Structure 1
């Protein structure tokens, strides 16, 4: 560390030395050198004339030209500023040197990394590869995370009874695809991620070649959640399988970026997460986690980045619902009806995120169209069957609308 600052200080001094020396020399009168040259030329003309190398006319013309140059040089040099007094030059040079040195060290302290050893790119990549190889296994990661997991929530007695029955049924029916899908979803909903991961793993095994990218991505996510947010080698391999099946799978891409950030490749993590942010949709469950982490990842990668502002939600919002509550029944029905009509048509033709389906379910219940809201709820559950966060959003909307599970 001391050697670094000594070398840096020496380089600053060597860089500033010519500037200070120039100030100390100043402009000077500068005439001595040029006039001495021209005097030598005049003397040379006389010697050439005596030796017969020049005629009288040639010597006269040469004298006139040299004398003209001497007058021009004298006029030029008279316009040069005289040298500063030595004391003033020393003070001025010292101020410049100190200002330049202080500015250099301040800029390095802000943008550099004092005390941090040089780390070439090849070595960084090698360290990242070594960190990837040294990662704990999935089983080790889950064992390490187990003490830090929150206490299981107190379940509704009816739900607890049904979940217990489901577990017992799956012990008796080890090849039930839909049963394992339902078990994984419900275990994840209560925070029992290791059990959910095991159920999803069995589901993927049963699906075989028919497994989808979303099934694999969900398995990878449950592996990460079971390990307390750590991406093991086994989890990353599952995520890679999901991305191979569907490179645009946002869930798998998010956790792949997390894996890269954890092993020391923030540059690659940033590239993945920036693409997800720009692609959206805004309501995707991985958008908010990315917004919370991408700034640190960009800084670690040496990249200046401002995340794009969240897009405004489409369809009726909670604010719209509150505004409707203050209207007359007729106006409220008309306003909600218009919004519901546009949202329903868009979801039917274009599809949309789970938040839009949730808004439609709540809006239909406000209009009193309970049967239609129930139908949309059932359809939404089928659309988002493989995504637990989306199903949670749909379930919350169903509770608000007072619909049955």
Structure 2
């Protein structure tokens, strides 16, 4: 009931604000016309007095008298038009009806299609709803209210951060992930989530700050799929499409069959092959689809054993033919993905010594290893 009372008062106020000036316009015009006529009559009387005293020549007095007469006639016509214009008769009634029709029609439409009897839903009441019955926005609002009162709740920030990322609110996701890391410590999931949010803020570009977060994630969990995927994307963004393709191919082999990243990696491999073909470059040798399918059908133990055998074969080949930059890059990455940090650093040292620390290839190997979070000094 209170809603209707407030609505009626607002409607009445808005209608009066339009009707009162409309109704009073004729009176204002009539008063203005009467004032003008009085002024012109005074001017005419003064002109006659000056002409009688000889202050104005008869010819000039006649011209002035004719001009004042024309103004008197014009003012009289304007006053007559105002008396039958907007302020009076059927025209005024039409204006009043038009103004009153607006609230009447709008109220009628609202009554027909609106929900005037729907109870109010204040934010506090909605936040107290059962979480199972709440919308995503209500759950986010509830979490934000909780964190506003408890800003040191790292678990709360950890829960809210990926929700922000899924909603596309990347700036807030960066803040939430940073708070979760600050309060509850770094983890591979938090660091990779932070990197993804930073990339989202940059419009999808994997910035240096995002790469640092992904590298920290790989240090905490070698083989972390999100970090590996985005670091390969960073290589592609830098124009190192062949290296990115190789990283995605290696990732495809190691992913389990039910990994949600398989589709994204397969698409990235296809796009990288297309880019290399368009540029006239030959794609680096990689596993065929049959080989990938065969690996995916293996058990985790068999897949790990096969990968380690491949890495051991690559290591042995590089010992015999060490002047192979791409081979050393594959070996360093393979050991790093397998979580064998000591072997990765040893491969980096051997590769740097074989290629020459001050050579262009040696510097490329060092830069590549740094992108994975590895240095020979570790």
TM (norm. structure 1) is 0.36
Higher Cα radius of gyration = 2
Q: Which of 1 and 2 has higher RCO (CA within 8 Å, sep 6+)?
A: 1
